Amino acid sequence: MINRIHINGEPSPCVLLQGWSVDQKINTPAEFICKVLNIDYDGNHIDLKLRNGYKIELYSGNQKLFGGILKTPEVEQYSGNILQYSLAASDFSELAYRRYIAASIIDTTVGAIIRERILPLLAEDGVTAGEIVEAQELRKANFNWIYCGEALNYLHNITGCNWWIDCEKRLHFVPNSMILSPWALSDDVQHSGFKHTLEHEQYRNIQYMQCGMTRTSIQQWEVLTPPPTGERRIFFSRYPVAQIMALEVFVNGAWTEITPDNIGIEGLNERGTRHWYYTFGSKTISQDDKLIPLTATQSIRITYTGLVRIFVRMENFTEITKRAEIEGSSGKYERLDIKPGIDNRQQAIEHGNSLINKFGEIEDRISFNTEVSGLAAGQLLTVNKPDFDIGNQTFLIETVEIKPAGSNGFAYSVRAIDGISVGGWETYFAGLITDKNEILIDETVTLFLDISDTSSLTSSTTIRFSRVLFPSDILFPSETLIPNESTSQEVILNE
């Protein structure tokens, strides 16, 4: 059976050379690489026009093996006046990396976010809705001018659902449990080169999340520092200011309120038009130059909401105990992820939970080759290999590479990870690289400990919350919260 390509929906008579491949990766656009000649199979020259952005499809008979977008075609001399074109294409998931999304969304399901916010953007390029599950409800999701594909990867990390745009340009977002392979791998099924590997490169059982800024509770009548001297006009609050509700000065033995009309925002209200000024996100409160500076017998206080940096800690006590028994050590594997774009406590907890779920067990990987068709990235594959101590264990297929084999068949190279872990590691860490990974040690950090969030972790996970040392020169007395106790605490660091 001759394999052929279609260009912009029309069959092309060009010769497709052996050596082509289709490389599928979970939650990432699949790639098709091939070489073609500008002649047909009878040796006749054809006018082969290939441009970036053309739709290209690979067929084996009536079976479509790939559909996507042509990128970076290269042409060179093959023999005589015959030209060889080297083609690289990405599947239609590439369309999600062309359009930006900018949205702040609260209290809605993941499915609604995809249908109502992401899909309308992609629809302009012909993408329609495939199977999209509702998944869970998110309290808040901020997409600050990122690609739709990055937003979908974020939702994948939170939910464990996989996404892709298929050969017919339909966007799908479904749980791993809904994508089962058509057959199970055992010694009775043709395969070769089976390998089994245990890795712990990305393993963690304690997860820290340092995120953006969130508002404090109302701070009542905080006296600003340093004290007045008769010359000083600049004073400082404990937290960076989000909003000042009231400001008073202590004059002649009594507190006197400054009217709201005389409290200005630096840069918005001109100097000379207000008595006092502040800036959002700054600790500085300054007095206008036209006023007489406060003396050493006077004072200033404010009622305000401040800003604190979110710091979240998750701990998988079951895994810590397990590793301690195996290794004869503390058993603790800690990771810190920095996500300054997350400015909501619940969103930070959701993201941290997804990380400790994803990387909370030693990675159990397999790889093999087969000529049996049907496997695709994102499927769950049952594996029974007693010689490798694998008994009907479920693995998530991470990558599948398809190449021609013989005159009519295909060879499939498969890599998979145990079904407890979810997602394509390449995609996830590529997303982390785009973050501004800055640790601002001199800022106030809030550590949230909330046992009510344990329900979003796996049922086999036991969580122990305790106060932690961060940075290393600040000490708090140790304290443990009892699981299932309806208690939450906030610990302010760097005070």
CATH assignment of the domain containing 63: 2.30.300.10
Which residues, at least 6 apart from 80, have a Cβ–Cβ distance to it below 8 Å?
Answer: none
Same domain? 17 vs 34: yes
170 and 195 co-located in one domain? no
Number of domains in the chain: 4
Residues 58 and 8 both lie in one domain = yes
Nearest residue to 146 via CA among 154, 156, 157: 154
Is 52 domain-assigned? Answer: yes
CA-nearest of 59, 56, 48 to 88 is 56
Which domain-ending residue is among 92, 124, 147?
92
State the maximum Cα–Cα separation within the chain, in Å, rounded to a whole number. Answer: 104
Number of other residues whose CB lies within 10 A of the CB of residue 230: 11
State residue 492's pLDDT score.
33
Let me know whether 11 and 88 are in one domain: yes
Q: Which of residues 68, 92, 116 is at a domain's end?
A: 92
C-alpha angle with apex 113: 111 to 117, nearest 5 degrees? 135
Whether residues 26 and 81 share a domain: the answer is: yes
- Grouping H, G, I as helix, E, B as strand and the rest as coil, residue 148 is helix
Q: What's the pLDDT at 323?
A: 82
The answer to whether residues 193 and 253 belong to one domain is: no
**Residue 419 confidence (pLDDT):** 54
The answer to the question of residue 322 being in a domain is no
What is the distance between the alpha carbons of residues 447 and 336, in angstroms, rounded to a whole number? 13
User: Is 388 domain-assigned?
Assistant: yes
Residue 336 maps to a domain: no
Question: Tell me, what DSSP letter sits at residue 168?
Answer: T
What pTM did the predictor assign? 0.57
pLDDT at 55: 93
Q: Is residue 226 reached through a cis peptide bond, with omega within 30 degrees of 0 on the bond before it?
A: yes
444 in any annotated domain: no
Could you tell me if 62 and 24 lie in one domain?
A: yes
Look at residue 26 in the predicted model and tell me its pLDDT: 83
- For residues 170 and 183, membership in a common domain is answered with no
Number of neighbouring beta carbons within 10 Å of residue 151 = 24
Which pLDDT score is estimated for 434?
Answer: 33
Q: Which structure tokens are listed for 110? A: 């993941």
| Assigned domain for 346 exists | no
- Give yes or no: residues 218 and 292 share one domain: yes
Q: State whether 125 and 69 are in the same domain.
A: no
Q: Which domain holds residue 35?
A: 3-92
CB 26 within 8 A of CB 423: yes
Mean pLDDT by 10 residues, the chain (495 residues): 86 92 88 93 90 91 90 88 93 93 88 95 95 87 89 86 91 84 94 87 87 91 94 95 95 93 91 93 94 94 94 89 84 89 84 83 87 90 92 90 85 83 36 31 36 35 33 29 32 33
Q: Say yes or no: 370 and 295 in one domain.
A: no
In a domain, 472, yes or no: no
pLDDT for the residue numbered 1: 58
Q: State the CATH number of the domain containing residue 117.
A: 3.55.50
Instruction: Give the residue carrying structure tokens 């590997």.
Output: 197
Q: Which of 92, 126, 149 is the last residue of a domain?
A: 92
Residues 80 and 121 occupy one common structural domain: no
Q: Residue 469's pLDDT is what? A: 29
